[in-house]
A and B are shown apart, each in its own frame.
Chain A
């Protein structure tokens, strides 16, 4: 057997970003793996220290550009905790609605690109077609396709519009989801590449601080949505699987799209029936925040994102720290890859749904 080092990345089409893996291979088998990150390190945390609270708000969407609403929400609600602001109910329902739509868009993109990594090209076109429906809707309400900047301190920028378009759109997507399942769930090639590959046990996942769908595919119920006040009026199940392999992670994400659609229907019904303020009318220019520290936790499509802000009485944050799910998903890669074949690297890595800007910040 020949031992050699194999460099994968930082420019590799399947990493969806700029991850570099230094693999020790023994023939076809992987005997060592060292992830190298930082190729998209943009210094977001230092940036916050030189900007006012309002100036920093648009940039947080870029931390994870596939789920911009979640990052916005984490930052905005941390600032709201520092300011002790009460949010109008309608605003928080709008936030839930948009975040769940964003979750669907994010999972759809994951599905398309994951199958692209596995060698199937056509699902990419299907999922992007459906994702475009959601992006078009986001563009209508916020003016941007990916970086929304729609949440403000104390609510949302303006009341939601085109509400009657959401339910048919989500209905179409859920219907198409059935098509994907027909295409994939019983597909022998897909099953043989994902089943029993990259098995992650519950204990190991918790020890390595894995959260989100990756953890729930390993027989865990942990979903930070169920503990949050934001979701207390909504009925939904926590999608979960027991096996902990790549196929289980696929199943959990597909189920999550269905559960998100249920939340969306409930939110749309609520918003259509009621009216009210959507923000507190806070003037965020020259916003100064007293000494304090606040954490905001949000369950994003990629796990727990925490925004920690420490304020010092000035108009700029003293320290902003982002805890993201993908950061820890990269860390567990050596554990999952060692002992597997080279051809499984992308099957396992893709199933973790790692977003590199979120890792490097």
Chain B
């Protein structure tokens, strides 16, 4: 019996190890190094892995190149489940291995893809060099060659029993340090307006508390400020500052229009269409609603996200269910 198993193992492992077809799965920085590995200088074809498949159904190897956040995690899980057995995973880069630079102080990153799917080879570095990825593929080939059909099943099943059995996975979110600050920021902001701003003479300020925003911006647009470069929101604890930063291509200068709002203000999408994404982002991050915005929604966080992360009093739940969108 053992002789048969080892013979089958040898044949299977030989064929599996030498034609690992990777799945094109790149989310961020490591994806560029993955592309570089496939390009002419580091020709990945030497190791039988040049056939990149765009469908998970045709691929053997998932090279997870890049950061996975809570919005992307269900997608990764589904793609992994769609791959046919035998399937292998390389966690490429520090983010995929354990959160990397984003494991602290941030609320949205999953600290390591091994919380979601089983990982065969960990490849840390930020980002790994192409040579390192080739080395990881060689290591995986070695691992495959020593495997037996029986142990492979155990490896996957052990991970399954830990995690994938649950339909919705709770991922422990990192503890977030809350910056405690005084409530004096509005006063400070006002004081700051009056200062001589000789360093950047092209900038002017308007501060208004009454809602004359739409009028002011319409006048500014008529006077040549034809571009709204961005809306910068800041949480000053008792109110949120919105800084509309305009630019005039005629006068080649910036202009800043600041307002302070509690929870609601007018949308300026009628005057500057580019404000749409900005307003959605501010709604997502600060909880400010914009009257008249065509489709106010959470832009960056998943729809089921709780709280507004860039508020100073934002507290991250310890365990967060954001998976069933």
Contacts and interface: CB of A to CB of B under 8 A. Distances in A.
B41 A39 contact: no
Interface in A206-220: 206-209, 211, 220
Contact of A132 (B36, B230, B310): B36
A12 B177 CA distance: 35
Contact of B192 (A42, A124, A291): A291
A10 B79 CA distance: 11
Nearest to A48: B105
Interface in B1-48: 24-29, 31-33, 35-36, 39-41
A44 B69 CA distance: 12
Interface string A295-336: 101000000101010101000101101010001101100000
Contacts, number: 182
A321 B232 contact: yes
A18 B181 CA distance: 36
B179 A49 contact: yes
A10 B105 contact: no
Interface string A128-151: 110010010000000001110000
Interface string B163-184: 0000000000000110101000
A209 B79 contact: no
B127 interface: yes
Q: Size band of the B side of the interface?
A: 35 or more
Interface stretch (A59-67, A252-260, A278-286, A341-349): A59-67
A50 B174 CA distance: 13
A185 to B, nearest CB: 23
Given A11-B25, A13-B24, A40-B28, A132 B41 contact: yes
Contact of A13 (B33, B54, B273): B54
B272 A209 contact: yes
Given A11-B25, A331-B274, A357-B29, A42 B109 contact: yes
B29 A50 contact: no
A38 B71 contact: yes
A41 B71 contact: yes
B226 A43 contact: no
B322 to A, nearest CB: 11
B69 A128 contact: no
B229 interface: yes
A65 B69 CA distance: 17
Contact of A42 (B36, B106, B235, B245): B106
A27 B186 CA distance: 55
A84 B309 CA distance: 31
Given A11-B25, A291-B188, A128 B230 contact: no
A184 to B, nearest CB: 18
B199 A128 contact: no
Given A145-B129, A306-B229, A39 B71 contact: yes
Contacts of B229: 209, 211, 304, 306, 323
A58 interface: yes
B171 to A, nearest CB: 15
A316 B181 CA distance: 12
A124 B39 contact: yes
Interface in A187-209: 206-209
Contact of A46 (B79, B106, B252, B254): B106
A244 to B, nearest CB: 16
Contacts of A310: 234
Interface in B214-231: 226-230
Nearest to A210: B274
B179 A316 contact: yes
Contacts of B254: 295, 297
Contact of B252 (A12, A41, A42, A227): A227
Contacts of A227: 252
A17 B27 contact: yes
B249 A46 contact: no
Most chain-A Cβ atoms within 10 A of its Cβ — which of B272, B274, B302, B309? Answer: B274
Contacts of A129: 39-41
A100 interface: no
A270 interface: no
A277 to B, nearest CB: 23
Contact of B108 (A43, A145, A304, A323): A43
Contact of B226 (A47, A132, A207): A207
A81 interface: yes
Nearest to B23: A11
B67 interface: yes
A13 B200 CA distance: 44
B155 interface: no
B299 interface: yes
Nearest to B256: A295
A124 B41 CA distance: 12
A17 B40 contact: no
Interface in B132-172: none
Interface of A: 10-13, 16-18, 37-47, 49-51, 58-59, 62, 65-66, 81, 84, 109, 113, 124-125, 128-129, 132, 135, 145-147, 206-209, 211, 220, 222, 227, 291-293, 295, 297, 304, 306, 308, 310, 312, 316, 318-319, 321, 323, 327-328, 330-331, 356-357, 360-361
17 contacts: A39-B27, A39-B75, A40-B66, A41-B108, A65-B29, A128-B36, A129-B40, A135-B36, A145-B33, A208-B274, A209-B227, A211-B229, A295-B245, A306-B245, A318-B234, A323-B245, A357-B29
